[in-house]
């Protein structure tokens, strides 16, 4: 290997490393945002389930479904952009690998980049969980809005029937 080839391989290796680091750090950011969305949905579910709250029927019919659809669409849009950038970085990594292998005269099968986009396993899983949590939120809101309000313990009075037929209220 001459100096020219060594310099070319060093440059390609450095570029490949930078692109892989970019891809990897973007995935970490993607998961942090996703976990934030899930936390917000789960906290909303927990708050609604644990508190004795009722909602106007109009909000439940239109607002809850619209809110979940909007959140899902925003998450889809975010993940779609992230995956496009990830695909571009992964393609460059494969391109660099192929050039290095060719320059070193290695008889290795060429790495062909695949466009995975939003159908990659990670974003598909993230969207499925977001949809599941959003659907649970809508169901809980519907059940809170249509269920009869159950009185709390402090609202109940104890009624005893006394032996002479009178009723005593405590």
Mean pLDDT, contiguous 10-residue spans, the chain (170 residues): 81 84 87 93 86 72 85 93 87 83 80 72 91 90 63 52 53
Q: What angle do CA 145, 147, 150 make, to 5 degrees?
A: 115
Residue-level pLDDT at 150? 47
Q: Residue 169: phi, psi to the nearest 5?
A: -110, 130
Q: What angle do CA 18, 24, 28 make, to 5 degrees?
A: 140
Q: Are 41 and 130 in contact (CB under 8 A)?
A: yes
Residue-level pLDDT at 33? 92
Residue-level pLDDT at 5? 79
| Range 3-12, long-range pairs (CB < 8 A, 24+ positions) | 5/103, 8/103, 9/100, 9/103, 9/104, 12/96, 12/99, 12/100, 12/103
Domain boundaries, the chain: 3-169
CB neighbour class for 127 (10 Å; exposed up to 12, middle 13-18, buried from 19): middle
Residue-level pLDDT at 126? 93
């Amino acid at each position: 290997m001459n100096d020219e080839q060594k310099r070319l391989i060093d440059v390609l290796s450095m570029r490949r490393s930078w692109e892989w680091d970019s891809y990897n750090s973007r995935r970490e950011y993607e998961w942090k945002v996703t976990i934030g969305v899930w936390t917000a949905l789960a906290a909303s579910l927990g708050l609604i389930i644990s508190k004795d709250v009722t909602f106007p029927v109009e909000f439940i019919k239109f607002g809850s479904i619209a809110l979940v659809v909007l959140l899902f669409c925003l998450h889809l849009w975010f993940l779609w952009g992230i995956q496009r950038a990830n695909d571009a970085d992964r393609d460059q990594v494969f391109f660099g690998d192929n050039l290095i292998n060719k320059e070193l005269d290695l008889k290795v099968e060429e790495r062909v980049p695949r466009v995975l986009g939003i159908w990659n396993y990670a974003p598909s899983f993230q969207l499925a969980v977001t949809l599941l949590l959003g659907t649970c939120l809508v169901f809980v809101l519907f059940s809170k809005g249509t269920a009869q309000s159950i009185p709390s313990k402090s609202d109940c009075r104890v009624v005893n029937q006394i032996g002479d037929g009178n009723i005593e209220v405590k």
